[in-house]
């Protein structure tokens, strides 16, 4: 079992309560010293033996045996039982709480936490009862800590804490809350997937996610899920704050600032550089546990989530776009580079968004400005290009001339009818991807979103003509 080390290190070495781990095939994987003492058996009689061979012959302990079998066969259901247990020294009263070991979201075995509460059931003295309850609470706190360490890899600390502290933490249902939603996405990731070996791609993306999560958690964000190469994050829940809009912008600035270190790490390993766009929106959403009784996800739903995703789709590399609603909630000074009036798909009215590159005190975070300017080509370069529908080529190749270029932008001249913010794929090497940001007659300024490996050599060629 992959969780065995967690069990041994975090539970067996610390807990005063008995612990027994049993695989679904009935094999007792391990027991701790407390379990051996409570059950009054030798370790050799239990560990690495079938549960049936250890207990089925004892008819007086049928309630104990049936309790364990129920836990094994009724997968997915947490149980808490109080059963009698007989030893050579007499009758005991046991409290048995079960939980599950999982691999890839599938149960592979059960953990039984066994408490001998014989004395507690016999207690009449209030002082003794309170002391026993205190020790049980300490054990519960320890068990919660183990669960938090285990599930913390899959859920944020705040979500795990809310589930453990709230009696209704696992129940399905939701509530309306005003939150700030962040969506991020890597530019040109599809092209990277085609070029890189799977193990290199996963290593690069995992490192990128780790760096980004540091900034998200630093500013009280809750990562809801990874969306391929993107992230879906909320601010203002489960821990309620009044500064969730400002926190989200601060986190976004921090994330974009970290991309320099991410790409230095990539360069050391021969990986391509990454660039990211971030969209942020603030509004009322439905927040809570979503799913079924067997599979539940903590998440949010509503038009505000969709709009955050739409806003992100308008970003180019290194940009942060925030909605008017987010801007209205922020009291700190914002460094706004530009505004856009957009009409996202599925939205009837025009929405104004703000390109942000910094936020003032108490955050005091600012992005480094790029000063490189477009350079006019000695001779315009003829190219073919395609319009994109989402991430897919749409329509036939169209002709155009590149008039000026920099590391981040280019000017395309074409008689084709193109729209602002339209995404294009230009026939340079494996494909140069760009988004139209400005339009003046037949001249279009494009922000580059993904560059082929040959882009540097292509620039040298067109400037040397």
Question: Mean pLDDT across the stretch 152-162?
Answer: 54
pLDDT of residue 162: 58
The C-alpha torsion from 296 through 297 and 299 to 303, rounded to 10°, is -70
What does the alpha-carbon distance between residue 15 and residue 32 come to, in Å, rounded to a whole number?
A: 9
Percent of the chain beyond pLDDT 90?
A: 29
| Sheet of strand 106-116, all strands in order from the earlier edge strand to the far edge | 28-31, 18-23, 106-116, 90-103, 80-87
What does the alpha-carbon distance between residue 139 and residue 247 come to, in Å, rounded to a whole number?
A: 36
pLDDT of residue 320: 95
pLDDT of residue 289: 73
The pLDDT confidence band at residue 116, using thresholds 50, 70 and 90, is: confident
pTM: 0.60
Percent of the chain beyond pLDDT 70?
A: 81
Question: Mean pLDDT across the stretch 71-85?
Answer: 77
Question: Mean pLDDT across the stretch 37-45?
Answer: 89
pLDDT of residue 145: 59
- Mean confidence (pLDDT) of the chain: 82
146 closest CA partner among 28, 296, 5 = 5
pLDDT of residue 151: 46
What does the alpha-carbon distance between residue 204 and residue 448 come to, in Å, rounded to a whole number?
A: 21
pLDDT at residue 333 greater than cutoff 50: yes
339 vs 135, residue with greater confidence: 339
User: Which DSSP string corresponds to 82-144?
Assistant: EEEEEETTEEEEEEEEEEEEEETTEEEEEEEEEEE-HHHHH---HHHHHHHHHHHHHHHHHHH
Q: Which two tokens stand for residue 355?
A: 């390109």
Domains of the chain from N-terminus onward: 4-151 (3.30.450.20), 170-366 (3.30.70.1230), 375-463 (2.40.10.220)
pLDDT at residue 364 greater than cutoff 70: yes
pLDDT at residue 243 greater than cutoff 90: yes
Q: Which pLDDT tens digit goes with each residue over 411-465? A: 999 999 888 888 898 988 777 888 888 888 889 999 887 777 788 888 888 888 7
Question: Mean pLDDT across the stretch 5-30?
Answer: 72
- Give the angle subtended at the CA of 324 by the CAs of 237 and 352, to the nearest 5°: 140
CA torsion sign for 379, 384, 390, 392 is negative
What does the alpha-carbon distance between residue 71 and residue 413 come to, in Å, rounded to a whole number?
A: 70
pLDDT at residue 345 greater than cutoff 80: no
pLDDT of residue 112: 86
Question: Mean pLDDT across the stretch 164-175?
Answer: 55
pLDDT at residue 184 greater than cutoff 90: yes
Question: Mean pLDDT across the stretch 80-108?
Answer: 82
Q: Which pLDDT tens digit goes with each residue over 318-330? A: 899 999 999 999 9
pLDDT of residue 251: 96
């Amino acid at each position: 079992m992959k969780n065995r080390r967690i069990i041994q290190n975090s539970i067996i070495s610390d807990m005063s309560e008995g612990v027994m781990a049993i695989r679904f095939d009935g094999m007792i994987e391990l027991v701790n010293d407390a379990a051996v003492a409570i059950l009054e058996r030798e370790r050799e009689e239990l560990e690495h033996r079938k549960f049936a061979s250890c207990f089925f012959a004892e008819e007086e302990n049928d309630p104990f045996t049936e309790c364990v079998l129920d836990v094994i066969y009724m997968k997915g259901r947490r149980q808490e039982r109080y059963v009698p247990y007989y030893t050579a020294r007499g009758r005991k009263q046991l409290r048995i709480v079960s939980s599950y070991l999982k691999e890839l979201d599938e149960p592979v075995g059960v953990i039984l936490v066994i408490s001998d509460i014989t004395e507690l059931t016999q207690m009449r003295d209030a002082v003794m009862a309170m002391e026993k309850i205190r020790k049980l609470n300490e054990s519960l706190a320890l068990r919660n800590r183990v669960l938090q360490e285990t599930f913390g890899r899959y859920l944020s600390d705040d979500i795990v804490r809310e589930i453990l502290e709230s009696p209704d933490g696992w129940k399905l249902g939701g509530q309306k809350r005003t939150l700030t939603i962040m969506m991020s996405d890597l530019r040109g990731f599809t092209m990277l997937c085609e070029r890189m070996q799977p193990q290199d791609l996963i290593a690069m993306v995992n490192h990128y996610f780790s760096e980004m999560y540091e900034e998200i958690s630093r500013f009280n964000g809750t990562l809801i899920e990874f969306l391929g190469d993107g992230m879906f994050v909320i601010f203002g829940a489960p821990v309620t704050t009044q500064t969730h809009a400002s926190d989200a912008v601060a986190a976004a600035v921090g994330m974009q600032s970290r991309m320099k270190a991410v790409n230095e790490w990539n360069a050391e390993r021969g990986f391509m550089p990454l660039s990211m766009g971030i969209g942020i929106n603030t509004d009322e959403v439905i927040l809570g546990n979503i799913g079924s009784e067997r599979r539940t996800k903590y998440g949010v739903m509503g038009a505000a989530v969709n709009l955050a995703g739409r806003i992100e789709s308008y970003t180019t590399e290194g940009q942060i776009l925030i909605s008017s609603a987010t801007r209205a909630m922020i009291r700190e000074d914002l460094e706004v580079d530009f505004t856009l009036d957009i009409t996202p798909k599925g939205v009837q009215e025009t929405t104004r968004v703000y390109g942000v590159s910094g936020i003032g005190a108490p955050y005091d975070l600012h992005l480094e400005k790029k000063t490189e300017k477009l350079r006019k080509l000695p001779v315009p370069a003829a190219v073919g290009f395609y319009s994109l529908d989402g991430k897919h080529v749409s329509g036939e190749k169209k002709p155009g001339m590149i008039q000026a270029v920099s590391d981040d932008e280019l000017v395309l001249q074409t008689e084709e009818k193109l729209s602002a913010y339209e995404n294009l794929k230009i026939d340079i090497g494996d494909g140069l991807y760009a988004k139209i940001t400005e339009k003046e007659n037949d001249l279009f300024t494009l922000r580059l979103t993904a560059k082929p490996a040959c882009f540097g050599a292509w620039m040298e060629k067109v400037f040397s003509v």
